[in-house]
Amino acid sequence: MRIITTPAELNEYSKEQKKQGKSIGLVPTMGYLHDGHKSLIEKSSAQNDITIVSVFVNPTQFGENEDLDTYPRDLEHDKIVAKDGGANVIFHPTPSDMYPENYGTYVSVDSDITKILCGKSRPTHFMGVTTIVNKLFNISLADRAYFGQKDAQQLAVIMRMVADLNMNIKIIPCPIVREKDGLAMSSRNTYLSASERQEALVLSRSLRQAEDEIKNGETNIEKIKSDIRRTISASNIADIEYIEAYTFPGLMPCSEKLSGQTLFALAIRFGSTRLIDNIIVKP
């Protein structure tokens, strides 16, 4: 497995692979890899000749007073996870490599899907995401890119960008990977204290209960959201930012009753740690 640190070197590497007729899969990450990331890498490795894993904590998707400086980093661990998953390359540039002096070009999905859910409290976040993802697509020449469903709004925004800009790349959505107790895997889980982590299990519990309700015939969206809220509110330390339902992947407002594929999405704070989770269901 190679470690490549500059955009020019990765682009030359990818061009050489394409000359040889090889397909390229890209797994964009901010590092501190866990089994959720590994599942994306494994899927890419199974579907492509070459898998590139980007490890880059992207400064443009962090807002003021967010955790850019404290975001967990461990490249040596990332190398092990990526190699075990079948990666051929880790792309690990510096911020100045990706945003050189006088940088001034950004990609923005200017529609309601970036203004709801996480976009309400993080107004510049998705512009940072779509800018870096666009750059990674261009540098890597990837045929396919792999994104987890845990960041469902991010997935929907990237799918919209690819469709709107007629990008020659296929987006592969991948299911949420959870800890044995149900907590969705996230690099930010390391911020949780032992007691906060235990309380955070109300997220997956509330979503499992919602899935059961829907399987048993419940279609009233407000009732499902209310039941999710009641379960989460049983935790004394859960600070609810949002519990919402939208169509997926269009992220349009839902009617009163479930119809078609629907995203139930949560953002909850436990202490200073903000966690997201979701389910995508059909009636």
pLDDT above 90: residue 228: yes
Q: What is the pLDDT of residues 263-280, one digit of tens each?
A: 999 999 999 999 999 999
pLDDT at 65: 86
Report the chain's C-alpha Rg in angstroms. Answer: 19
- What are the E-state strand segments in the chain? 2-4, 24-29, 50-55, 89-91, 144-148, 170-174, 238-247, 262-270, 273-281
Output the CA torsion sign for 129, 134, 135, 136.
positive
The CA distances from residue 118 to 63, 103, 153, 231, in Å, are: 12, 26, 8, 21
What one-character DSSP code corresponds to residue 26? E
Q: Which two tokens stand for residue 6?
A: 């500059």
Q: How far apart are CA 72 and CA 69, in angstroms?
A: 9
Q: Return the amino acid letter for 54.
A: S
Measured from the Cβ of residue 21, the count of other Cβ atoms closer than 10 Å reads 7
Average pLDDT, the chain: 97
pLDDT above 90: residue 152: yes
Quick one: average pLDDT of 163-179?
97
- Burial group, residue 282, by CB count within 10 angstroms (0-12, 13-18, 19+): exposed
Q: How far apart are CA 283 and CA 217, in angstroms?
A: 8
**Segment 214-217 long-range contacts (CB within 8 Å, at least 24 positions apart):** 214/258, 214/281, 214/283
Q: How far apart are CA 269 and CA 16, in angstroms?
A: 46
**Which pTM was predicted?**
0.96
Helix axes 201-215, 221-233, angle to 10 degrees: 150
Q: How far apart are CA 153 and CA 73, in angstroms?
A: 24
pLDDT at 208: 97
Read off the pLDDT band of 283 (50, 70, 90).
confident
Half-sphere exposure of 192 (CA within 13 A, CB side): 22
pLDDT above 90: residue 158: yes
Domains in the chain, CATH or no CATH each: 2-174 (3.40.50.620), 187-278 (3.30.1300.10)
Quick one: average pLDDT of 179-204?
96
Q: Are 27 and 44 in contact (CB under 8 A)?
A: yes
The CA distances from residue 40 to 5, 21, 44, 115, 144, in Å, are: 21, 23, 6, 27, 11
Q: Return the amino acid letter for 217.
A: G
Percent above pLDDT 70 for the chain = 100
Q: What is the pLDDT of residues 57-95, one digit of tens each?
A: 999 999 988 999 999 999 999 999 999 999 999 999 999
- φ, ψ dihedrals at 17, nearest 5°: -65, -40
Nearest Cα to Cα of residue 277 among 210, 207, 229 = 207
Residues marked active site are found at 37
